[in-house]
Amino acid sequence: MTKLWSGRFRDRTDRLVEAFTSSLAFDRRLYAHDVQGSIAHCKTLKRAGVLTSRETAEMIRGLEAVKAELDEGRFPFVPEDEDIHMAIERRLTELIGPLGGKLHTGRSRNDQVALDIRLYLRDALKAMTGRIEELERALLSQARAHLDVIMPGYTHLQRAQPVLLAHHLLAYVEMLERDKGRINDALARLNVMPLGSGALAGTNYPIDRRYTARLLGFTDVTENSLDAVSDRDFAIEVMAALSLIMMHLSRLSEELILWTSQEFQFVDLPDAFCTGSSMMPQKKNPDVPELVRGKTGRVYGHLLALLTTLKGLPLSYNRDLQEDKEALFDALDTVSASLEVSAELIKGLKVNRDTLKRAAASGAMLATELADYLVFKGVPFREAHTVTGRIVRFCLDHQRDLETLTLDELRSFSERFDKDVLDVLTVEGAVERKAQIGGTARKRVEARIKVLERALA
């Protein structure tokens, strides 16, 4: 077959070059958005007097027929199709004749693909937001179901202070809320229409770009044709947002891996989301969170690859930009799948209440409560910190827990201790005293759950 751009060439394209330069294997997923943009372009050409009403109607019918073939998996691809844009135009011309050759009037594949990616991303990111919210709902459901469960809070992976398990789970909901905000920010910036920029300089035809933008639901049009065809900032911004989502999922996965280990035994993962060992019959491996953790590096790599591709490109369009789609599509697919499987995993999580209760009551988890008690009695915090540190050292030397100390033993370290100190040395009290905004007290956590549930309803 003759290439649609072959007029200037004597020789046909080498088969090696066709295979090397073809993007059809991955950009065919843009077909619905390519047809959507082409239909809007047809209407704009009619408005500009380039197409008649009859030609416009016939071309739109042809484009809808092409889309139906693609929807149903019966589109006749041929080896000469370089990309989905040329495949659609080639097939349209087969169906409606020479009139199909008018479709490309006033546009280039440069502004066409820039449009298609933006249209695709609009839909993909809206779907991504839905995936995020499904995970948020799963976390909120587990938080509400375990409002009475106290666990050790950690810094440096060392037990630090008691917190509600629900409070810990809500930390990830807050991360996901920020992720949604970044996606919405990216959506606002990518929702600008590049069509009408031509190859790089604009178009000679009197097309109404704002009319096209309204047809396609864009809030604005690009103001510089050189920038419009070569801009992939929006793709980088999306991939940065996706990388942050994966970072949050990886942190959650790491905690699940730790919590399910025999060393922690805080939670159990559902059997349906784990695998066994081919050699060791006793093993129950947390493969799903491990894979999510592993796939995070893959998404990071795609972001770095696109940044590297863009860093040395002169204006305007260069074929290097074909490399944007594989990275972008794989990142979207990876994050979407990771969110979906993580949500289902969290729904099936079993919390080992007794183990968490024992862990929250062990060691010197209430040391800060003891120091703060002295502060309320008028002792400067640094002095209170030192006194409490000596008490902790005493407990370590004698293999005692703070809660087991008697009033006389405490008073041997400071005369400021009174009998009410024994009321302070409880895990429940330590949690409930953190009642300021953002604290782990039950009333604060429950209030935050209600706010988030209403927002997701």
Catalytic residue positions, numbered: 156, 277
Q: How far is CA 291 from CA 238, 281, 287, 315, 332, in A?
A: 22, 21, 6, 39, 16
| 330 Cβ contact partners less than 8 Å away, ≥ 6 residues apart | 298, 302
Question: Is 416 in a helix, a strand, or coil?
Answer: coil
User: CA torsion 437→440→442→448, rounded to 10°?
Assistant: 50
C-beta separation of 342 from 176 below 8 A: no
Q: At what angle do helices 367-376 and 381-397 cross, to 10 degrees?
A: 140
Neighbours of 393 (CB within 10 A): 11
Both tokens of 112, joined, read 């066409």
Written as one letter, the residue type at 192 is: V
Per the listing, tokens 């002792």 go with 379
| 338 Cβ contact partners less than 8 Å away, ≥ 6 residues apart | 246, 249, 292, 295
| 42 Cβ contact partners less than 8 Å away, ≥ 6 residues apart | 51, 56, 59, 60, 63, 103
**Cα 310–Cα 312–Cα 315 angle in degrees, nearest 5:** 80
C-beta separation of 113 from 107 below 8 A: no
